[in-house]
Chain A
């Protein structure tokens, strides 16, 4: 899947890369290789029952190898898809991993998306303490926000929307790259004990991160798996709901299913936004930054959905400055 409303940022995969992935595919799979559509920085080839993934250019071997060790072990079985082999291979300058093929959520029918299944899988993932797995790097969520905002600097002319996104970013406390003050809620973006309960996060959850495999939904993509606050895994739907994009009933179904499954990222009762506010605001900023960058690349105005994200950033700025002045009174 592409970046939000985006076009390819990186050149299309070379024939050489596709051939190399195909050769790996036929070794593990049982049908001629075909290229699957995915985000522009990743290339995926399917050979029947096996899927071969070339990770984004510049991906580092050791963090990926650590994540492969974690998902190849028994603790995440039934929650996060187990690879065909735990080995990290190479094709040219790209790191390559091999996975069983599954059926993704149908993007043509988002109303039928398995929100509850996703919530239960996340609750199950979050119940595994990071300390029960081979050592893992930090989860990928918080660092991506600043990286996405930094991409605005490489874009065309500075726009009002880009300024709102930057202002919202710098109003957020304690994110990498943000000049926001470090407040009490910073600590929450890291778990209390990095190997204790509630310390594991997928790091990049959305509807494209589930497939149906052997009749059951299962999480996929270990690229951002790691030690971190699991509330970040709920942050995308929370951001969509807060922006007014995701229907309230869908959000409440998702949240109720997560809580019913014992999910630890938000308490069983009480106000979930105590834990969700910062990650959901951060994801709003990230989604808005990606949208502004995409519109800039394509030389077009923001569409209505993208504008809703900018409006949400504006409310974040107002909310954060109101909280800040209340704190200092």
Chain B
């Protein structure tokens, strides 16, 4: 079978009773009729069986605000530490 997108060769795999055709070229996947529904059903069964408590959210990063300068931006300005307007700003109303 030929890939409808890039015309590469499609190879057939079977995963838990679902036929999957994957293109060797672009890695695209083709599903037969009804197979997407089968996958969805299997996924929901799996998640019901494995209904473990949700993993704790990652600890919040308190380093910088969401509107802060992106990190790579930092180094750039410290070189201008002595710039008149920067020093003036540190000391003025």
Contact of B68 with A by CB under 8 A? yes
Q: Which residues of A contact B64 (CB under 8 A)?
A: 241-242, 248, 273
Contact of A318 with B by CB under 8 A? yes
Q: Which B55-93 residues have C-beta < 8 A from chain A?
A: 60, 62-69, 73-74, 76-78, 80-81, 83-93
Chain B contact residues: over half helix, strand or loop, or mixed? loop
Contact of A43 with B by CB under 8 A? no
Q: Which B15-71 residues have C-beta < 8 A from chain A?
A: 60, 62-69
Chain A contact residues: over half helix, strand or loop, or mixed? helix
Count of residues in B whose CB is under 8 Å from the partner chain: 27
Contact of A277 with B by CB under 8 A? yes
Given A303-B83, A305-B85: A319 in contact with B92 (beta carbons within 8 A)? no
Instruction: Indicate if the CB atoms of B85 and A291 lie closer than 8 Å.
Output: yes
Instruction: Indicate if the CB atoms of A248 and B88 lie closer than 8 Å.
Output: no
A87 to chain B minimum Cβ distance, whole angstroms, is: 24
Contact of A264 with B by CB under 8 A? no
B78 to chain A minimum Cβ distance, whole angstroms, is: 6
Given A242-B64, A315-B69: A206 in contact with B77 (beta carbons within 8 A)? no
Return the contact of A39 from the options B73, B76, B80, B93 (Cβ within 8 A): B93
With most chain A CB atoms within 10 A of its CB, the pick from B60, B65, B84 is: B65
Ordered by A's residue number, 15 sampled pairs between the chains whose C-beta atoms are within 8 Å are A3-B93, A5-B89, A206-B91, A207-B90, A208-B90, A240-B90, A245-B89, A270-B62, A276-B65, A280-B65, A287-B89, A304-B77, A312-B69, A315-B67, A315-B68
